[in-house]
């Protein structure tokens, strides 16, 4: 049975992270993915928008890419805003980037994606909002 890493480990991941690729980031400010990514950016993280429908556009001051495979720089956390059933292919792309963590937002669970990521040494967080965790864990970042 899956268990998220401890509060202390999640805090450590967030404190050490610099870059977060946000899969499913919307260019619409009223969408949850946009609000969460903006909050994480305001907390000091570099955000890389990943969404094929807005690839090439600028979102939160960053150029959006169509997929994780287009990212050619280190990524610490892959934060996912996609339906649970759409997550395994995201995990397949994520393992090639070798992030420290695959973070599935609140309401998103994929045992298949978690198993794949863990096989490649990537920590997995599921069904938790990264923004809420950042606030609750009192991460000292900026």
Euclidean distance between CA atoms 129 and 66, whole angstroms: 23
- Specify the pLDDT at position 141: 58
Q: Taking the complete model, does pTM exceed 0.85, yes or no?
A: yes
Which tokens hold the place of 28? 């619409």
Write the CB contacts of 62 (distance below 8 Å, at least 6 apart in sequence).
46, 47, 48, 49
Which tokens hold the place of 121? 């040494």
- Specify the pLDDT at position 99: 98
- Specify the pLDDT at position 140: 73
pLDDT tens by residue, the chain, 142 residues: 889 999 999 999 999 999 999 999 999 999 999 999 999 999 999 999 999 999 999 999 999 999 999 999 999 999 999 999 999 999 999 999 999 999 999 999 999 999 999 999 999 999 999 999 999 998 875 5
- Specify the pLDDT at position 7: 96
Which tokens hold the place of 64? 């959006």
Which residues are registered as beta bridge partners of 21? 48, 78
């Amino acid at each position: 049975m899956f268990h998220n890493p401890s509060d202390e480990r999640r805090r450590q991941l967030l404190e050490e992270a610099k870059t977060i690729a946000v899969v499913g980031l919307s260019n619409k400010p009223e969408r949850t993915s946009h609000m969460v990514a903006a909050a994480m950016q305001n907390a000091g993280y570099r955000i890389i928008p990943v969404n094929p429908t807005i690839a090439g556009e600028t979102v939160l001051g960053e150029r959006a890419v169509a997929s994780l495979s287009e990212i050619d720089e280190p990524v610490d956390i892959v934060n996912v805003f996609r339906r649970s059933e759409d997550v395994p292919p995201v995990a397949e792309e994520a393992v090639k980037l070798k992030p420290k963590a695959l973070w599935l937002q609140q309401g998103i669970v994929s045992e298949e994606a978690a198993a794949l990521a863990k096989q490649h040494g990537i920590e997995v967080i599921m069904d938790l909002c990264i923004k809420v965790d950042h606030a609750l864990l009192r991460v000292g970042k900026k």
